[in-house]
Amino acid sequence: MVNIQESATTILAELTILRQLLLATTIVFIGEWTPLLRVFIILMVLDYLSGLFKAVKNQRVNSYLGMLGIIKKLGYLIVISAFYQLGVMLGEPLVVKNAVLVIFIVNEFVSVLENLSELEGEDATYLPKGVIELAEEIIADKYNIEQRFSDMKNE
């Protein structure tokens, strides 16, 4: 006869080993869990959820687009991993990883703001005016930078 307590203990031990293996693998590829990485993960989740809520509001829920969003977020993690490994080769893994994280954090923050403003309509009054102006400035700079790169390619 199977002892339920022993089975539960065995399952918990196996899950603990699996969790530790997953954590160790993550640390090898992305490095330690810094505060910037935590902020980035939180913003990724907020961006995905706010995008989902926006799709529900606009009655445009699409599982294919949702999956593309998840794949895009995984792509971000792969890029962060690649830059972390580059940083390891250069002898400054955290500096390189954190620089990339800051760029992605700004991108995710702007995306969350865009989603929230579309959820609320034109006047997203729950956000401080300074935050809205900063986001608009960042978005304008983003498009200006993309245009400059496009112009440089055409030269």
11 with 67, same domain: the answer is no
Token pair for 28: 């090898």
Residue type, 29: F
26 with 38, same domain: the answer is no
Residues 6+ apart with CB under 8 A from 21: none
84 with 60, same domain: the answer is yes
Residue numbers of the domain that contains 10: 1-30
Residue type, 88: V
Counting Cβ atoms within 10 Å, is residue 104 exposed (0-12), middle (13-18) or buried (19+)? buried
Instruction: Please give the pLDDT value at position 101.
Output: 92
37 with 16, same domain: the answer is no
Residues 6+ apart with CB under 8 A from 126: 120
40 with 81, same domain: the answer is yes
pLDDT of 12-37, one tens digit each?
676 677 677 766 777 778 888 888 99
Instruction: Please give the pLDDT value at position 117.
Output: 79
Please identify which residue in the block is written with the tokens 């006047």: 123
pLDDT of 104-151, one tens digit each?
998 998 888 888 878 776 655 556 667 667 777 776 766 665 565 566
37 with 26, same domain: the answer is no
pLDDT of 65-77, one tens digit each?
888 888 888 889 8
What is the count of structural domains for the chain? 2
Phi-psi domain of 121 (left: phi exceeds 0; alpha: psi -120 through 50; beta: other): left
Pairwise CA distance, residues 45 & 120, whole Å: 19
